[in-house]
């Protein structure tokens, strides 16, 4: 069972003790996400059992797919990953490779494959002795049309451990599959089938356990923006070629537009769309500010204090990153004032979440607000100068120096957060256990060798590179 970190059990009990009418959407999301991930872990036992006979294989496959869908629903509901995720990831990584094998599952695709094999056996040559041209390589969408839902779930769950531009592309591929006119109806039919199968054993009146196709697309687009932010962080962006950077920005912009189209009343859509706009220096700063402020307004109108706090911090970040936006004379003064107002509401709102939301959500946001606080006087000074019609006494260079200090503080904060999060992923917590066996880099979601269950890798590519050395020691787990 996906156990909670110390202290979060009491917070979950406090959240569940609240009357239904007093729970905001994020408190309810915390409760539902823990339930969903515990159910998913129960359906994905470790180590994975041997494959079932043909009679039970279909039911077992549905159970595995439903478990992955429950985890994605938890992501869809929550502002951050649920606190149970480090343990849940172990279960997901043990099953994720078996979700999709790349083979066509529909009759038309199988018939086409059989026809091509028959032609090859018949000789494989055209008239005149000319060889047939090799078939064109299938795109990711074309390859997934036979089994689109398993492939989308696989791409989503494998993206975060990969990191970088490749992770962003994996999520973009997932959303392209969901938008494909051939694959989309099959995804909808598969989800409907899983929902009906799941409802057979659920008590009457139980809340939905899986997602709609629109919610699945929303979760994938959110993941795209979040991974793009990581790929374009100061440390990672230095190793990113210009062409890949452009691809990441394009994927983030596409995801932002899709989020606003899918759920325009969801503060998560606007907050991430604002973050996507702040990444692209070619876009007007006003766009990022408008989206961030809109997210804060929606959170306040919907009575969601955690999102009020999160959007307040995001609004200030949008005003100052990557260059201090308050010095952009095209930015509307009322937008800057709205940013300040949103930020000032953040800390009091977060206080109301202390006892009913996970510690990692609250503490992470507390540190982010503290790291952003030094920029508030800069923004206020610029507001005063612009209201008086002056040019501003603090120069862009001075404001940028403060911004760099804030960014360094945030990077140090992220490094502090990373250590306990990574340590939770293994039972022993040793230094070697936290590194990929091939590239020796730290990673959050290491995948174990499916045969020996001992070697751990950050990606499929690393496992393939290490196989020549690892196969000598690889023995079936007992």
pLDDT at 454 over 90: no
pTM, two decimals, is 0.77
Helices 25-43 + 8-17 axis angle, to 10: 120
pLDDT at 325 over 50: no
Q: Which DSSP string do the residues of 322-349 spell out, in sequence order?
A: SS-GGG-TTS-HHHHHHHHHHHHHHHHH
CB atoms within 10 A of CB 130: 8
Per-residue pLDDT reduced to its tens digit, 174-230: 999 999 999 999 999 999 999 998 888 767 666 667 899 999 999 999 999 999 998
Question: Which of 283 and 320 is assigned the larger pLDDT?
Answer: 283
Is residue 322 reached through a cis peptide bond, with omega within 30 degrees of 0 on the bond before it? yes
Band the pLDDT of 405: cuts 50, 70, 90. low
Question: Which of 64 and 467 is assigned the larger pLDDT?
Answer: 64
How many alpha carbons fall within 13 Å on the CB side of residue 44?
A: 28
Token digits for 471? 């196969």
- Give me the mean pLDDT over the 301-319 stretch: 92
Q: What per-residue confidence (pLDDT) applies to 281? A: 82
Band the pLDDT of 382: cuts 50, 70, 90. low
With beta carbons less than 8 A apart as the criterion, state whether 234 and 205 touch: no
pLDDT at 455 over 90: no
CB atoms within 10 A of CB 288: 27
- Give me the mean pLDDT over the 473-478 stretch: 75
Alpha-carbon gap, residue 179 to 437, rounded angstroms: 37
Token digits for 67? 């478990």
Q: What per-residue confidence (pLDDT) applies to 254? A: 97
- Give me the mean pLDDT over the 431-445 stretch: 67
Band the pLDDT of 474: cuts 50, 70, 90. confident
Average pLDDT, the chain: 80
Per-residue pLDDT reduced to its tens digit, 24-33: 999 999 999 9
**Closest to 267 measured CA to CA, from 300, 235, 219, 227:** 300
pLDDT at 446 over 90: no
Q: What per-residue confidence (pLDDT) applies to 347? A: 93
Alpha-carbon gap, residue 460 to 228, rounded angstroms: 21
pLDDT at 7 over 80: yes
Q: Which percentage of the chain shows pLDDT scores above 70? A: 74
- Give me the mean pLDDT over the 316-325 stretch: 63
Which residues are CB-contacts of 230 (< 8 A; sequence separation ≥ 6)? 163, 164, 167, 236
Q: What per-residue confidence (pLDDT) applies to 76? A: 96
Helices 164-179 + 242-262 axis angle, to 10: 40
Band the pLDDT of 468: cuts 50, 70, 90. confident
With beta carbons less than 8 A apart as the criterion, state whether 315 and 307 touch: no
Per-residue pLDDT reduced to its tens digit, 216-254: 999 999 999 999 998 988 777 777 888 899 999 999 999
């Amino acid at each position: 069972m996906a156990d909670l970190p110390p202290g979060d059990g009491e917070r979950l009990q406090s959240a569940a003790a609240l009357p239904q009418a007093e729970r905001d959407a994020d408190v309810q999301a915390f409760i539902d996400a823990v339930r969903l991930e515990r159910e998913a872990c129960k359906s994905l036992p470790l180590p994975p059992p041997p494959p079932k006979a043909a009679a039970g294989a279909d039911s077992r496959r549905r159970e595995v797919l439903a478990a992955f869908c429950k985890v994605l629903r938890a992501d869809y509901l929550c502002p951050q990953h649920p606190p149970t995720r480090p343990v849940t990831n172990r279960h997901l990584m043990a099953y994720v490779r078996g979700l999709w094998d790349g083979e066509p599952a529909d009759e038309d695709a199988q018939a086409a494959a059989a026809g091509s094999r028959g032609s090859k056996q018949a000789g494989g040559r055209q008239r005149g002795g000319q060889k047939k041209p090799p078939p064109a390589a299938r795109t990711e969408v074309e390859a997934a049309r036979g089994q689109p839902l398993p492939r989308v779930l696989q791409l989503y769950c494998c993206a975060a451990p990969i990191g970088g531009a490749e992770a962003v592309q994996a999520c973009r591929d997932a959303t392209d599959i969901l938008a494909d006119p051939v694959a989309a109806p099959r995804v909808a039919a598969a989800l409907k089938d899983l929902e009906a199968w799941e409802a057979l054993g659920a008590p009457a009146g139980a809340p939905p356990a899986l997602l709609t196709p629109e919610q699945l697309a929303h979760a994938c687009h959110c993941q795209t923006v979040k991974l793009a932010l990581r790929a374009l962080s100061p440390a990672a962006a230095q190793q990113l070629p210009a062409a890949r950077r452009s691809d990441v920005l394009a994927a983030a912009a596409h995801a932002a537009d899709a989020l606003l189209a899918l759920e325009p009343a969801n503060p998560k859509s606007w907050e991430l769309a604002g973050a996507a706009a702040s990444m692209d220096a070619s876009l007007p700063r006003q766009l990022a500010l408008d989206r961030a402020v809109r997210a804060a307004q929606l959170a306040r109108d919907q009575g969601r204090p955690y999102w009020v706090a999160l959007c307040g911090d995001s609004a200030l970040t949008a005003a100052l990153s990557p260059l201090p936006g308050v010095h952009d004379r095209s930015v509307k003064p009322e937008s800057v004032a709205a940013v300040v107002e949103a930020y000032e509401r953040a800390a009091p709102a977060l206080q109301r979440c202390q006892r009913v939301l996970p510690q990692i959500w609250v503490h992470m946001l507390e540190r982010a607000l503290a790291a952003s606080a030094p920029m508030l006087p800069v923004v206020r000074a610029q507001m005063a100068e612009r209201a008086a019609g002056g040019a501003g006494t603090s120069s862009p260079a001075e404001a940028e120096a403060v911004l760099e200090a804030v960014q360094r503080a945030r990077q140090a904060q992220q490094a502090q957060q990373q250590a306990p999060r990574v340590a939770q992923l293994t039972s022993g917590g040793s230094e070697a256990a936290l590194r990929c066996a091939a590239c020796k880099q730290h990673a959050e979601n290491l995948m174990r060798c499916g045969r020996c269950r001992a070697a751990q890798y950050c990606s499929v590519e690393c496992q393939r590179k290490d196989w020549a050395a690892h196969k000598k020691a690889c023995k079936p787990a007992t």
